[in-house]
Structure 1
Amino acid sequence: MDYSGVIAGKRTRFADLEDIIGRPNFYDDAKKAGEMLREHRSLDSLMKSWDAFQKTQEELAENRVMAKSQEDKELAEMAAAEIPVLEQRLVDLEKSIQESILPPDPLEGRDIILEIRAGTGGDEASLFAADLLRMYTRFSEGRGWKIEPLDSSPSEVGGFKEVIIKISGEDVYRVMKYESGVHRVQRVPATEAQGRIHTSAATVAVLPEAEEVDFELKPDEVRIEVCRSSGAGGQGVNTTDSAVQVLHIPTGTIVRCQDGRSQIKNKEKALSILRSRLLEKKQQEEAAKYSANRRNLIGSGGREEKIRTYNYPQNRVTDHRIELTLYNLDQFMEGRIDQILQGLLASDLKERLAEAGLG
């Protein structure tokens, strides 16, 4: 596809940003300046990718001509050997260009609040929630991301009724945003004496971490209560009044945080989770309006949507949104989830390009 017309418009915008950034009062509005600097970096990357794309096209054309030469057989062989490398480089550069052309999600650079809750299935569901936490932890560690526990409610069998963590690092929300939804597991529980396969589920919610500028939590709209921690966790948890419960009165949203022994830390964590949940609610309302005019290939990201099945007897994992099945569930549960995540990213990119008339 010819991107030259689109690139010309982006180049004009890039020149305009160069002028604006050089003005003395550029940093007067810090938030707006940050947004413009991110856009400038993105366009700078796009220009470099486009220049490399054009250069590679020229090199590929030259190599194809040289490969047909009858005068210098050795040179022709060398040129022919480089053709597959140049073709792959063109594919990679075109993908980078496509990603840069589309308007970026303003939240994609955010850290996330990851919530996992046991669904149908009782104790087995709580164990599966713990397995998902381990899977995401392994995946995050492999990417060099930082994990911070925020709150948890352990089950009696060693799993979790609910667990909330924060994941920080580069492009966390961009990579993880498709994980929201219902995850279904099919396996024989350890407590099943007759070897029957049970089906259980856990719900995952991926919330971009909200900043204070996203929501102004007015004092008269928030009720904060301090209470005694409960549940498993040792003597320190059971004997301190460090748990904090926050109620957002306008929406009825309640957040309880008790993992830390510090009341102040628990309050900070609870408010962070609250802002993120309110931001998610706002996103879903906007997505509902938008989705009336489009079919989203990878789904709405709603918590009620069944997105993936983990079948242990067949060592199979299936993502229902992109109809991708892998037979490496044992490795998948060790955090090797890249293939499905890349498939989701590619499907979303394809749909967005089609909507923009660039598909």
Structure 2
Amino acid sequence: MKKSIIDKLEKLQIKLTRLEKLLSSKKIISNQKKLKKYSKEHLKLFNLISIFLKWKKIKKEIKSTKILLNDPDMFEIAQDELKILNLEKITLKNKIKTMLLPDDFNNIKSCFIEIRAATGGDEAAIFAGDLFRMYGKYAEYNNWDTEIISSHEGEKGGFKEIILKITGLGSCSKLKFESGGHRVQRIPQTESQGRIHTSTCTVAVIPEVQSSIKTVINNSDLKIDTFRSSGAGGQHVNTTDSAIRITHIPTGTVVECQDERSQHKNKSKAMSILYSRIHANKIKKQNQKNSLIRKNLLGTGDRSDRNRTYNFPKNRVTDHRINLSLYCLNDILNGNLDILITPIMQEYNTKLLLQIVK
């Protein structure tokens, strides 16, 4: 374990001792608010330092066991013992690193995925449909629920825009790395001369905002329009003004929803997206100085973010943020996204840990 991490842990050990003294003082015991705050902090630090002390103990045992390697009669026993101790040491080190990372409350939330065709016309819309199916299959593998909130179909297939809600534990923690520009290189269905084209889509992953922390939105700040739904759906689509468009005037945020037959349900869905978008933009502004955002490991959902390229002729997917190329494009489009997301998460957590222990 790096010296910077050990130094950090030793400082936290001193802090734990101070907290224990505070929690035993009459002044804190009589103040329920402070008692609750310090008790919560103490529990988290106690669990972390307990593992750190175990790690230090294992480290000492490894040192003393290595001395036994010089004894021919104890050599094999010492070797076996060292294997067990080293494995335990690595396990404890990984636990410590995980516990040092700050809590991200978005990790336990559900999220919206907004997929939009960008450059490439009909082919970009078709690719947006491919991405939609990829995320749907990934959700199935993880036993997450999916719901289409809003969609605008492309003229030759796919979607000009589709918003999907994914509900399930850990969905936001993994999918938050998908925000940004996704580029496809292939011969489009619409290409008659067999030339390879490059098209792009943008993906924005937005955590769902819980009712307890929703930003207050005044009705006077909203412009609500109703219109007739477009796309497949029979007579209802052409005759009923059930689709909703909500504009938040102060921020210029516009949300549309037309997938439900009920105007009331469309409005409810649109408002949930609006709350989440406004909250996400607020957090984005707060985090603009964060070097992890600047390094684009967490995408912004903007077209300028070049996250990933899906190259069909070479069966290759490249994630440009960590320079990772995998030659299993079909597997990835069929929902095997963990082989891309896991390395990004590891890189993100490593960089985050380095910031904490500076």
Q: In 1, Cα distance between the equivalents of 2:208 and 2:66?
A: 50
SS at match of 1:107: helix
Deviation at 1:127, TM superposition (A): 1.2
Q: In 2, Cα distance between the equivalents of 1:317 and 1:267?
A: 38
* Equivalent residues in 2 for 1:172-211, closer than 5 Å: 172-211=171-210
- Aligned amino acid, residue 134 of structure 1: R
Q: In 2, Cα distance between the equivalents of 1:236 and 1:17?
A: 67
Q: In 2, Cα distance between the equivalents of 1:172 and 1:42?
A: 25
Deviation at 1:268, TM superposition (A): 1.3
Aligned to 2:112: 113
Aligned to 2:130: 131
**Structure 1, residues 294-333: CA drift from partner, whole Å, max 9, x if none?**
9536265341211111101111111111111111111111
**Structure 1, residues 88-119: CA drift from partner, whole Å, max 9, x if none?**
44334323322321332343322211100011
- Aligned amino acid, residue 338 of structure 2: D
Aligned to 2:48: 46
TM-score by length of 2: 0.83
Further displaced range: 237-246 or 87-96: 87-96
Deviation at 1:71, TM superposition (A): 2.0
2:117–2:202: 8 Å Cα contact kept in structure 1? Answer: yes
What value does the CA root-mean-square deviation take over the aligned residues? 3.3
Q: In 1, Cα distance between the equivalents of 2:47 and 2:229?
A: 49
User: Are residues 198 and 254 of structure 1, via their aligned partners in 2, closer, same or farther at CA, if it must alter by over 3 Å?
Assistant: same
Aligned to 1:70: 72
* Equivalent residues in 2 for 1:184-333, closer than 5 Å: 184-212=183-211, 213-291=213-291, 296=295, 298=297, 300-304=299-303, 305-333=305-333
2:129–2:158: 8 Å Cα contact kept in structure 1? Answer: yes
Q: In 2, Cα distance between the equivalents of 1:260 and 1:230?
A: 12
SS at match of 2:250: coil
- Aligned amino acid, residue 247 of structure 1: T
**Structure 1, residues 11-42: CA drift from partner, whole Å, max 9, x if none?**
4597699899998966xxxxxx9x99997886
Q: In 2, Cα distance between the equivalents of 1:94 and 1:339?
A: 23
* Equivalent residues in 2 for 1:131-150, closer than 5 Å: 131-150=130-149
Deviation at 1:246, TM superposition (A): 1.2
1:229–1:241: 8 Å Cα contact kept in structure 2? Answer: yes
Deviation at 1:336, TM superposition (A): 1.2
**Structure 1, residues 182-235: CA drift from partner, whole Å, max 9, x if none?**
100001122323321111111000111123323001121123333322222333
1:43–1:100: 8 Å Cα contact kept in structure 2? Answer: no
**Structure 1, residues 107-164: CA drift from partner, whole Å, max 9, x if none?**
3322211100011111111111111111111112212222121111111322011110
Q: In 1, Cα distance between the equivalents of 2:271 and 2:343?
A: 34
User: Are residues 133 and 247 of structure 1, via their aligned partners in 2, closer, same or farther at CA, if it must alter by over 3 Å?
Assistant: same
**Structure 1, residues 40-79: CA drift from partner, whole Å, max 9, x if none?**
8865663564355445545645654556642256634643
1:4 aligns with 2:5: no
2:209–2:279: 8 Å Cα contact kept in structure 1? Answer: yes
Q: In 1, Cα distance between the equivalents of 2:29 and 2:235?
A: 59
User: Are residues 210 and 75 of structure 1, via their aligned partners in 2, closer, same or farther at CA, if it must alter by over 3 Å?
Assistant: same
Aligned to 2:342: 342
Aligned to 2:160: 161
* Uncovered stretches (5+) of structure 2, i.e. residues with no partner: none
Deviation at 1:238, TM superposition (A): 3.4
Deviation at 1:5, TM superposition (A): 1.4
2:122–2:156: 8 Å Cα contact kept in structure 1? Answer: yes
Q: Percent identity?
A: 40
User: Are residues 157 and 344 of structure 1, via their aligned partners in 2, closer, same or farther at CA, if it must alter by over 3 Å?
Assistant: same
Further displaced range: 264-273 or 63-72: 63-72
SS at match of 2:195: coil
Q: In 2, Cα distance between the equivalents of 1:354 and 1:119?
A: 35
User: Are residues 122 and 9 of structure 1, via their aligned partners in 2, closer, same or farther at CA, if it must alter by over 3 Å?
Assistant: farther
* Uncovered stretches (5+) of structure 1, i.e. residues with no partner: 27-32
SS at match of 1:260: coil
User: Are residues 102 and 10 of structure 1, via their aligned partners in 2, closer, same or farther at CA, if it must alter by over 3 Å?
Assistant: farther
- Aligned amino acid, residue 162 of structure 2: V
User: Are residues 6 and 94 of structure 1, via their aligned partners in 2, closer, same or farther at CA, if it must alter by over 3 Å?
Assistant: farther
Deviation at 1:278, TM superposition (A): 0.7
1:109–1:173: 8 Å Cα contact kept in structure 2? Answer: yes
SS at match of 2:288: helix
Aligned to 1:29: none
Deviation at 1:277, TM superposition (A): 1.0
- Aligned amino acid, residue 352 of structure 2: R
SS at match of 1:186: strand
